[in-house]
Amino acid sequence: MVVSPVHFIAVPLLAAFLIPLLAKVSKELVRIVPGLVIGYLSVVSVILMTQVVNTGQPIIEVIGGWSPPFGINLVFSAFTGFLVSLMTFMAFLIWIYSYRFKKIDDAPAQKYFILFMMLVTGSTGIVLTGDIFNLFVFMEITAIAAYSLTAFYRDRDGAEAAFKYLLIGSFASALMLLAIVLLYSQVGTLNMAEIAQRIHTVPQGMKITIFTLFVVGLGIEAEMFPLNGWAPDAYSQSPGPVGVAFAALVVKAGVYSLVRVVFTMFDIHGAYEFLIIMGAITMVIAEISALKQTNLKRMLAYSSIGQMGFVLIAFGIGTNAAVFGALFLMFNHAVIKGLLFMSGSYLVYNTPSKEIKDMAGIGKKLPMVSFFFALGALAIVGLPPFSGFWSKLYILMAAADASFYYLMGTILIVSIIEIVYYFRVMGRLYFGKPQNDVVLQKPTLGGIFAMGVLATVIIVIGIHPDFVTGFIQSAADTLLDKAGYINNVLQLTNL
Amino acid sequence: MDLDYNQIMSIGVYGSAIGLILIGLYAVLIKKHLTKIVIGLSIIDAGIHLLFIAIGYIKGGTAPIFSPAGEKIVANGGVMVDPVPQALVLTAIVIGFAVTAVALSLVIRLYRHHQTARIDQIKSLKW
């Protein structure tokens, strides 16, 4: 069977529109079909990824017979392929985790799975597309699905969080559209490879204006300070699996597009230093805010923002080793934060107030979930032998090689803050006195399985990082090879 | 200063595009009513769309349609306007419509939940 990158967009989109029809046939199909679709996509991503790594050539899909730069093209290189594989893998685990979501009531589950398929379509589309306007369209698909998923629960303050997200998000998309308009008026093309080729003809002032508009527009999805006001509310008000999807899919797509703009499209002097500064501010402010949170999900959200700041710093250092570290950290963040949000949701279920202080003693009542949470907490602060240790080590080594000593100091101080607030939760879980013996919600079988897989990944990668480093290394090489990207895309042009 | 018809037109079009963006920004930033904020977002979008169309216009250009009539005009030295911005604006209008629909449904939900649509009276979450 012929597999192609276009399946990542076509299949989940088709499934999203078929779900209401399938619901007429059988209620169970609504839950099974998304899993089949995402499972298929995971298999496709593995097949394509092996092909790309073996041949060393990216797969460039020309859509509708219009060769680039006239038509839209999809680029499945080692870099984009790595992110797509990560996203589909995480989406599959989210599906297993949320298989029994709203089991009592099928109508909301149907809406949830439709929106979830749209979210998968949008975020893989952002990563795969080679056309800047197409990226905007996928960004909007992701955003609309994300707004609706944030407002999913009627009884929480979801609508308020969603409106806040929508206000910031649609403002960002307006700025991004303006950036695309100005860029088109300057270079006369929308193909990212051709933009990269022609960007040096744009006057400096215009180039900086367009770049700023792009960074503000994309920085919102990437949770960059000061554009991340939506994140704590959206994470804390949305259903549990959606928080995982935000951390593993939406934010990854946002960071990807920011990196694509900085590394491939523009050649602005000082853009890397700008990323470092913004990343450092984001990281420090987010981690300090996380320290004073009393609500568990808000704390995890701020920690997620902090990690994204860390990723931006690593990309900003810009050397091959640092980009390698940044991609490794993106992988780790998806896996570990996924585990933390999945287990954290069960902790929150069993604490009606959602406050950390009321979680005392849950470690004895829900041993499995608390163990997974503790494992995730130990991994994300970067203790060996877990996978979080390696990414932090690689980034610190890259910072040392590039002689950013102040940056290393900041990263290490922030790590101490991280340890304080994660260990505070763990201390309450295991050494606090239980207030009551009622267990409201035991984890489902699917939930335990998904968390178990993530925990295994964390430990296996921690002991033996070579399982992924090969892929990440070729992803980092591909990202930094700007000329290769331009050549690979534009060689298909047949005038 | 002598301005011909085309210059006046282009100043008018670019000016009103920027004016629309600024009016929209004013509504989003200053107005307290949720519906007015949503209207402001739509106005910003409209301004950007107008700007995009104006950039794609070529003086004296005809509609970019491949037809015998269009080919005849091009063969006689005429020009066609750039079709790409028009196609993109069409897409952007659809996206803007979808976002506005979601936004208004959220406004309805907020109104039912809080019995008010004023943003300064809704503060369960920290704004």
Residue B21 lies in a domain: yes
Q: A153 at the B interface (CB within 8 A)? A: no
> Counting beta carbons within 10 angstroms of the beta carbon of residue A272, is it exposed (0 to 12), middle (13 to 18) or buried (19 or more)?
middle
Closest CA in chain B for residue A144: B99
Measured between beta carbons, the chain B residues lying within 8 angstroms of A164 are: 125, 127
The whole-number pLDDT of residue A239 equals 84
Q: Is the pTM of this model over 0.80?
A: yes
| pLDDT of res. A264 | 85
User: In this complex, do A184 and B95 lie within 8 Å of one another by their Cβ atoms?
Assistant: no
CA distance B3 to chain A (A): 24
Nearest CA in chain A to B124: A157
Alpha helices by DSSP H, A98-131:
106-128
Q: Which residue segment(s) compose the domain that B74 sits in?
A: 5-121
CA distances from A427 to A185, A363, A455 (A): 58, 9, 20
Answer yes or no: is B127 within a domain. Answer: no
**Band of pLDDT at residue B127, cut at 50, 70 and 90:** very low
- Residue A56 vs residues A81, A208, A270, A484: alpha-carbon distances, Å: 12, 34, 31, 11
Cα A23 from Cα B41, distance rounded (Å): 36
Contact B109 A181 (CB under 8 A): no
- Closest by Cβ to A159, choosing from B37, B44, B106: B106
Rounded percentage of chain B residues whose pLDDT exceeds 90: 35
With contacts defined as CB-CB under 8 Å, which chain A residues touch B40?
A: none
Q: Tell me the Ramachandran region of residue A270: left when phi exceeds 0, alpha when psi lies from -120 to 50, beta otherwise.
A: left
B61-108 pLDDT, tens per residue? 777 777 787 777 777 777 777 888 888 899 999 999 999 999 999 999
Q: Is B126 a domain residue?
A: no
Q: Which residues between 80 and 119 in chain B have a beta carbon less than 8 angstroms from any beta carbon of chain A?
A: 84-85, 88, 91-92, 95, 98-99, 102-103, 106-107, 109-110, 113
- Beta-bridge mates of residue A76: A59
Asked if the Cβ–Cβ distance from A174 to B124 is below 8 Å, we say: no
Cβ within 8 Å, pair A177-B92: yes
CA A195 to chain CA centroid, Å, is 26
Residue A227 phi, psi (nearest 5): -100, 15
Q: Which chain B residues are Cβ-neighbours of A162 within 8 angstroms?
A: 106
Residue B8 has pLDDT above 60, yes or no: yes
Structural domain total, chain B = 1
Report helix angle A387-401 to A320-349, nearest 10.
Answer: 150
- How many Å lie between the alpha carbon of A203 and the closest alpha carbon of chain B? 17
Listed as ranges, residues in chain A with pLDDT below 50 are 495
Residue A347 and residue A366: Cα distance in Å, rounded?
Answer: 8
Rounded CA separation A63/A6 (Å): 8
In a domain, B42, yes or no: yes
Domain at B64, CATH number: 1.10.287.3510
Lookup: tokens for A41: 């996509």
- Picking from B55, B92, B109, the nearest residue to A151 by CB comes out as B109
The Cα of A324 is separated from the nearest Cα of chain B by a number of Å equal to 36
Q: How far apart are the first and last CA of chain B?
A: 50
B15 belongs to a structural domain: yes
Please give the pLDDT value at position A120.
92
Tens-place pLDDT, residues A135-182: 999 999 999 999 999 888 877 678 888 888 898 888 889 999 999 988
